[in-house]
Structure 1
Amino acid sequence: MHIAMYIGSLNKGGAERVMCNLAEYFYNEGHKVTMVTTYLADDEYELPDGTWYKEAKEGCSEIEVLNPDDKKKKVWINKSEDGIARVFSALTLENRGGRLANLRNRVQILENIWKQIQPDIILSFLGKNNVMAIKSARSLGIPVVVSVRSNPSREYASKILNISMRHYFPKAAGVVVQTTGAAEYFGRNVKTKILPNSVHPDFITRSIIPFEDRAKEIVSVGRLDDNKNQILLIKAFAEISKEFDDYRLVLYGDGPSREKFKEKAKELGLLDNEKVIFKGNVSDVPDHIGSSEIFVLTSKQEGSPNALIEAMALGLTCISTDCPCGGPRDLITDGENGLLIPMASDEEMVKELANALRRVITDRDFSKKLSDNAAYVREKYSPDKINSQWKEYFEEILKK
C-alpha cells in the first residue's frame, strides 16, 4: 500500500505529530509513505526514516521551497534512499494571483503530484487542505480520507470553507474524527470514522508514581490562549489557595495570552509568592508532571485532547471542562476516572472548578480512585491499538 499524507507542514503541533507518528508506523509496517506538505516549517518534527534534510548532504538534490511565511528555504532530498519520501506543493510567489486563481492553481499542483507519485490512498489533515485533497483527486479515482482534528464548527468556521466542506466531504472515502460529538456534527451523508489520538509512548513507558508520593501540585499543559482558557484555572485556584497553602499551580506552555494570564495571577496575589508558576515550553513533559497530583484542562473547545490523555496515562487526578465537541467526555466518566466541569458562564465555572479542586484535595480516597482509574488509557489508547485501527480502516477502504 502506498499512502500519501497531505498536511500544511510538519510544524510542531498536535495534528502534525499524529501524522508523523502514522507515517513512521506505516513505513515500519512495510508500506510506502510519501509526505506531501505545502511548506517547510522552520521548526519541524524529525522523522527517523525521512529522506529529506535541512543541510547539504552527499547524494541529495537541492531544491528551493517556501516556509509558512513565504520565505524561500532550501532542502535536500535523497530520491534514491529507502525511507519516507517528501514532496512540496506550495504555489510559487511568481505564480500567484487572485484568491480564486491561487486556489485553482494549488488544486492543479496537487493533482499533478498525485499523478506523479500514484498513491493507493491519500490521507489529508486539517481545514482547507481536506477540501483541496478531495477536489484534486476526484478525477483520478484515488480514495481520499480526510481528518478533522478539532471541533468541526471551529475548523470550518468561515462561511466559504464551510460550504466547500459540506459539498466535498460526502465525496470522500472517509472522514476521520476524534470524538462522538464530531461524528454527530456531520450527519449521515458523510462517512465518518472515530479514531482518537493514541497515548505517546513516553507517557506509557514511565512508571506511575504512587498516589501518596505525589507532589502537591496542580498542573496544566497547553498553549496559553483564550481557547485553552487557563485564566479559568487561575481564578479557581485563587478561590482555594488560602485554604490549601501547601499547593501550587504550575502552567506549562506558551502562547499569545501568557502576559494576560500572568497579569491576572499577579492581580490575584498569586505570582510574587510563586503560588502560580509559568514554566513556558519544556521538553520531556512526563518528567515535569509525572509526580504531580492534579491535572486540569479548561478548554472551551477540544477534539481528542493529547494533554488530558497523557496526564491520565501518568495517573494524575484529572479535572476537565465538558467542552464541545466531546473529547474530554469520551475520555472521562465523571466521578470514576476524573471529573467533568459543565460548560456555563465564566463565574459559574470558576465556582464549579474551585469546588472540584477542594473535593479532590480533601477527599483522598476519592482522589486516589480517580488517579488509579485514569491509567486505563494506557491500554485503551495505546499506539499499537490505535495505529492498527488506522491500518484496518485503510484496508477496508481499499477493498471497496
Structure 2
Amino acid sequence: MHVAMLIGALTKGGAERVLVNLAADLTEKGHEVTMVTQYKKENEYPLPDGVKRVISDITEEEITGSRIVNFGRRFGKLRMIWKTERPDVILSFIGKNNMMAILTSRFLHIPVAVSVRAEPALEYYNGWMRFMARHLFASADGVILQTRQCFSFFPEKVQKKAVILKNPINKAFFRQPYRGEREKTIVAVGRVDENKNHELLIRAFAGIAGEFPDYSLKIYGEGDQKERLQHLILELLLEKQAFMMGATSDVAGVIERARLFVLPSNSEGAPNTLIEAMLLGLTVISTDCPCGGPAELIEDGKNGYLIPVGDTQKLQEKMQYLLNHLQIADEIGENAAKAAAIFKPEVVYGEWENYLYSLTKLGK
C-alpha cells in the first residue's frame, strides 16, 4: 500500500508527531509512504528512513502579487503531486490541508481520509471554513475524529463517514513505569502557545512554590509565548524554581521520573503528551477541556485529576494535595499506566493500517 500523508510542516507538535509515528510503523511493515508538506521548517521531527518527502508549496520565482494566482498555482502543484505519486490513499491532517486534499484529488480516483486533530470549532475557526468542513467532508472517503464530542460539530452525512482512531504513540513510551524515588519536579510538555495556557500552570505553581521550595517546574516545548512566560516567571520571582526548558527529542527520558505532569490547555483533541505521561506512570492533572480528550482518558480521582479550564485555584489545590500525599499520588500514577495500556502499538497501529486499507481497492 502506498500512503501519501499531507500536513503543513513537521514542526514539533502533537499532530505532526502522530503522523511521523504512523509513517514509521507503516514503513517498517513494508508499505510505501510519501510525506507531502507545504513547508520545510526548522525544529521538525525527523522522518524515518525510507519515507519520501515532497514539498507542495510554490517557489519564490512562482509567487506573484495576486493571491488568486498564487492559490491556483499551489492548487495545481498539489494536484500534480497526486498525479505523479499515484498513492493508493491520501491521509490529510488539520484544517485547510483537509479541504485541499479533497479538492485537489477530485476525479483522480484516489481515496482521501481527512483527520481533524483538535476541537473542530477551533480548527475551523470562521464561518467559511466551518461551512466547507461540514459539507465538503461528505465528499471524503473517510473522516477521522479525536473524541465523541467532535461528532456533534458535523451534520449526519459526515458523521456516517467518521471514525475515532486512537493516537499512534511512539514505542519509546511503552516501558516499565519508573519505580524509584521520584524527582521533585512538576512537568508540562507541549507547544508554548496561547492555547496550551502554560501561564495557568506557572501562576498555580507560584501559589505553592513557597510551601515546596525543593520542587521545580519544568516546561518543555517551543512557541511564540516562550518569551512572555519567561518574563512572567521573573515577575513572580520564580526564576530559581520555574524553567522554560525548550524542546527535547527525548520526552520520555526527561519526564519519566517527575512527580507530577500537568496539561493546562484551553482545548485539546486526544493529547499525545497526556497519553504518554500516563503510560510512564506519572500522576497527571489536566483541564477538562473541549473537545473532551482528557475526560475520555482520565477517571477523575482514580487515574488522574480533571480541573475546570482556566481555574488557577483548582490546579493549585490539586498540586498541593498531591505533593502532601505522595502515596496517593503514586497510586494514581500506577492506575494511569494501566488505563493507558489501551494504546499498545500493535493494536493502535494495526487499527490505522486496517482503516487505510479499507479505503483502498487493495486486498489485504
TM over 0.5: yes
For structure 2, list consecutive stretches of 5 or more residues without a partner in the other structure.
Answer: none
Per-residue displacement from partner, 1:83-115 (whole Å, max 9, x unpaired)?
x33333222334334333333332222222222
2:312, 2:183 → 1: CA distance?
A: 24
* Structure 1 contact 134–171 (Cα < 8 Å) conserved: yes
- Give 2:280's match in structure 1, choosing from 314, 328, 344: 314
Specify the alignment match of 1:209 in structure 2. 178
2:81, 2:218 → 1: CA distance?
A: 46
Specify the alignment match of 2:34 in structure 1. 34
1:352 aligns with 2:330: no
Matches within 5 A, 1:157-236: 157-190=125-158, 191-205=161-175, 207-210=176-179, 213-236=181-204
* Structure 2 contact 13–190 (Cα < 8 Å) conserved: no
Worse-matched range after superposition: 105-114 or 149-158: 105-114
- TM superposition score normalised by structure 2: 0.91
Specify the alignment match of 2:52 in structure 1. 85
Deviation at 1:43, TM superposition (A): 4.1
1:260, 1:26 → 2: CA distance?
A: 40
Rg larger for: 1
Q: Secondary structure at the match of 1:86?
A: strand
Deviation at 1:19, TM superposition (A): 1.6
1:329 aligns with 2:295: yes
Matches within 5 A, 1:1-400: 1-50=1-50, 84-97=51-64, 98-190=66-158, 191-205=161-175, 207-210=176-179, 213-271=181-239, 274-343=240-309, 346=310, 349-398=311-360
1:85, 1:266 → 2: CA distance?
A: 45
Closer, same or farther: CA 252–112 of 1 in aligned 2, 3 Å: closer
* Structure 1 contact 303–327 (Cα < 8 Å) conserved: yes
Deviation at 1:133, TM superposition (A): 0.8
1:387, 1:131 → 2: CA distance?
A: 25
2:217, 2:52 → 1: CA distance?
A: 44
Higher relative contact order (CA 8 A, sep 6+): 2
- TM superposition score normalised by structure 1: 0.83
Closer, same or farther: CA 220–13 of 1 in aligned 2, 3 Å: closer
Deviation at 1:378, TM superposition (A): 5.0
Aligned residues: 359
* Identical-residue share of aligned pairs (%): 45
1:306, 1:183 → 2: CA distance?
A: 20
User: RMSD of aligned C-alpha atoms?
Assistant: 2.1
For structure 1, list consecutive stretches of 5 or more residues without a partner in the other structure.
Answer: 51-83
Worse-matched range after superposition: 39-48 or 137-146: 39-48
1:261, 1:236 → 2: CA distance?
A: 13
2:304, 2:132 → 1: CA distance?
A: 38
